[in-house]
Chains A and B, each alone.
Chain A
């Protein structure tokens, strides 16, 4: 048995370094971690509402959601991509590209829906290029998407140069910042909720979604159990490109301005939100509720600090520290658990070799 399986497991692509940990342990930790991030979010909201003047006001949440919407949107496909053990760093550049294209076509007097459709199509193609390079050519996604990060951003800036297009139909720009009738909840929330439900269902309740986890945990085992690895990854990269283009359209309309450098650097916030939400960078572990809480946590902290009069740049320190702490904590808990297990084993063996 072991002799037949060892060569196949040995030939895995090599993205994952720590496959040997007990799985139930990780799953238990994960549940704690998801709960922890959601609990942290609630605590922060409660504390901020009590301590920061005006934080409890509905208008705060309006701006908070508008500001966080692109991160929330892109975090959805990004979660799925990272769970397969891949990564997509080109998302913010795809946003910029979609923004540029919308601007260019609007300038050429295209009707807005047609321009938006082209932008979405370009996003889809951009994602497909990533997907092809990763699945067909067999390149590591980290390198590929660093390349397309530069490429798509370069195309975005090349197409528009330094001009900014601002002549969008008022109907669409108003829609982007509009609220649901009778409330202060921005309309884009509907889009986020619908997409979150779709992605949540896709990830957690379909065979396709189970396949995503299987790929992340062990590509070889997934392949042997009939998961179409290449096709799954290809589809996920296309989804990431598509949603990025969608977020790019929203971003353009929200600020009423199409520029080649729109949303520069946003990819890092998205990845940070996803990892903060408990998704393992090695793939195979994570869930959408945690990710949404992670993205919101970053948004709430930024908003609360801004209202408290602290410069909004502090948020960088907090995002970074939270990210580092969250992975170290997971690692520390795993280590603690291992110590306890090995201590128990040593007791049973009553003075056996403790060197291992």
Chain B
């Protein structure tokens, strides 16, 4: 009876209850979506680190990380790799030869890390081969060419390997993408023109188009106008193991595109045997041994085991190599808590305020209920139940709305292209797939119930303090 009456009571002032429920819903939805986006972005960044940049564990000479010097290599590599491969928890083990050098074209040069890899082994360790931009090459598949390099999109732009050109194909593609005629006619005026770099192309587009047109169609025009000369040549120069300057001419075997512009502009992958020959490093030496595990949960354990087995080497897991990412993940968890506390506090104040108004408005009725025999325990329970209903209705609506939106956006992603440059500079993708765990949903639901209960205590106590005779006298 009390439950039924309490439920009916919250609909007594429909507008007020709906406003409170809407406020709770929006608050919870906003909080969950913000946490979901942040969680998704961090998860994507971690996956990016694990799949394309670092893998789970790396072994190196203890001096190597500080200097990146060729001479600080790992010896007896084959023996170590074979031993690590025997571990059942290990999925793949590979080597990276690592040389710091310069990448140069006729127009530009850029400092890079040149990484010597076994392309086939690399596919077992990393997923970077999957990030190959269509039409830019075939990774290291061409057996007739050894001096191939797999470079990042940003480095390709920096070296002017990527150019921009307006031609008939670009115009046709823009028309197909339903770009308005007035934009196409402006673009068409540049037909046949070539721009050697992104900056000059963007500058020209900004002067020709309105601000709104640039913000709406700028990225699409930029993407369609990109041209790439297959097998473009560039040189890599560096110091060999005898401290002599050396280098070689390489052709672009493919361009990878990942949401980390820093990595893209600095990491160049070449065949290990070519680089080894150029730097004249012995066959059984390398700079990094990369370990991919079957289960990320075992990272700490296997890292510990390897540290014990190879005390002469520096053994670091991905959290130690990229402490910023690990810290971000931990900070995010603390932030989620803080964020939810703010939302729940707002929810609590909303409920306290509403229920105090309810008690004030219904003073006479509460007096009547006590007069006809409703004891204080039941009055207390009725007010508490009303508050819990109010918070649960809003909270659950918020959770359901959040769940639906998160489900949709976790499949389609949220595109933050206006923030693309900034996000990618920090290693984050501008296409974020929000993610929330079931555990988080359950915790938030329980917290909403607890908040509803706690915030109803004060108004309910107020109702208990009413003197029935005084309450009945109120108008």
Indicate, yes or no, whether A interacts with B.
no
Q: Which residues of B contact A (CB under 8 A)?
A: none
Q: Which residues of A contact B (CB under 8 A)?
A: none
